[in-house]
Amino acid sequence: MSETLELLADRCLFPGFKGTVAPDWVRRRAANGLGGVLFYGRNVETAEQTAALAASLHAERPELLIAIDEEGGDVTRLDVATGSSYPGNLALGVVDDLELTRAVAAAMGSELARVGVDVDLAPDADVNSNPANPVIGVRAFGSDPALVAAQTVAWLDGMQGAGVAACVKHFPGHGDTSVDSHLALPVVGEDPRRGALEPFRAAIAAGVQVVMSAHILVPSMDSVPATVSPRIMTELLRNELGFDGLVMTDGLEMRGITDGFGIAGATVLALVAGCDALCIGGGLADEDTVDELRSAIVGAVRDGRLTEERLRDAASRVDQLAAWRSRQSYPQGEGGGGDGEVGLIAARRAVRAEGPVRVGADPVVVRLSPAPSMAGGALPWGVAAPLTQLGAHVTAIDFNHPPVGLESILQIATGRSLVLVVRNLHRHKWQAEIADELLALRPDTVVVEMGLPASRPRGAQAYVATHGASRVSGLAAAEVMREG
């Protein structure tokens, strides 16, 4: 019996929801054929709770796909309370050991399989060619297309070897942008064919299961955003690059796409363009939104804006990914768990320290905190807690905005080691100015950069770069300062 348009539309929807227990509407729709759901940090408390949540949803319909953003580093959902146990992509790219990258992704994949996750919305395969990029940065393996391609393949091999589908993002490349697509529509400065496509091409050749679209404008390719561009999502991705797996959109509430089309309009246009799975729920995590989008899809078929054939094709690709997941060696909820040490090992290898970075037993740690990105959210980060963990008696001082009372800091730090912790200093003028002032007064201040180390302060004699702000990256930096 042929499925109704409503059921086909449901298969293409991947909503989010609130709470650590699935609401009734999610369970009902899962049982009736919903394609998948997205887990966010708000859904996660412990590994045991997350596994129980996933099991309750899979019990409604085993083919339901559970997806999560677990990149490691600055973007984590499983470790939202503590910070990630794995360094992010930039740290792995700096080390540039493909076996290590594969081992980190395999450990992460085993943890995801153990808690019942089917699809990891990672790795980020962007080439971060613009240091001012506010949303990619340390989430990318680096700025060299060949390095990023090799690291991307190693990462997806590790993840998919653990039985969890990997998803390379953000196609056709979000690296050469200077705007966060959560907030507005970024414009790509360079033709992706000059390097940004290379990691995606390599990932497709290596058998990646999912590709995620980017809400970006690529003037060299089309006059509409990539997510709703048939030229990019079908002609380029499907026909030219030969990708035959699932194409998933980035979050459809993001202003990079809704400002121009509205969420319902973007949903329909994304399907027309060649996307299959439609991500929602980062903000609009309710059944009314799912109803609105299903109605929009069905209405578009009935009035001829979307063909039924295209909708059936999209739904079938969701089914094909569910079938792939069911064949993996780590069935849902039965993964063996991750290697708890490999993340710290990788973070240690990624730390770069120059100058007299050792601190005493009672350091003063000043942290200058930028606003958290919408991709990563608010996570614990820094070196104060790790230094305390290693036995230091730390005085921690945090600033989220100016003014910063340097005189009081210097008074507190008299006769003590002083540490200044920053994150993407090159993108925050007020923080760079504070760093310069502080270093002029205390040249022995140890500067710890936990973002992209694109702008070392001129007066920094002692400098530590972690290449990411994961929990293990902070611990690795603390170890260098206590033992170096």
- The answer to whether 165 touches 155, Cβ cutoff 8 Å, is no
Q: Rounded to the nearest 5°, which phi and psi values hold at 407?
A: -60, -45
For residue 357, give every residue at least 6 positions away whose Cβ sits within 8 Å of its Cβ, in sequence order, or none: 446, 462, 463, 464, 480, 481, 484
Question: What single-letter DSSP state applies at residue 341?
Answer: T
CA distance 395 to 366: 8
For residue 224, give every residue at least 6 positions away whose Cβ sits within 8 Å of its Cβ, in sequence order, or none: 217, 260
For residue 264, give every residue at least 6 positions away whose Cβ sits within 8 Å of its Cβ, in sequence order, or none: 292, 293, 296
- The answer to whether 182 touches 374, Cβ cutoff 8 Å, is yes
Which token pair is 441? Answer: 């007064």
CA distance 124 to 140: 6
Q: Rounded to the nearest 5°, which phi and psi values hold at 462?
A: -115, 120
CA distance 246 to 276: 6
460: number of CA atoms within 13 Å, CB side? 26
Cα 166 to its chain centre, rounded Å, is 12
Any catalytic annotation for residue 250?
yes
- The answer to whether 306 touches 267, Cβ cutoff 8 Å, is no
CB count within 10 Å of CB 55 equals: 13
- The answer to whether 460 touches 448, Cβ cutoff 8 Å, is no
Which token pair is 227? Answer: 């997510």
CA distance 131 to 136: 9
The neighbouring-strand residues paired with 278 are 13
For residue 203, give every residue at least 6 positions away whose Cβ sits within 8 Å of its Cβ, in sequence order, or none: 125, 149, 152, 153, 156, 166, 168, 211
CA distance 395 to 230: 55
The neighbouring-strand residues paired with 398 are 367
> Of these residues, 250, 276, 428, 467, which one is catalytic?
250
> Of these residues, 182, 215, 426, 428, which one is catalytic?
182
What residues act catalytically?
Answer: 182, 250
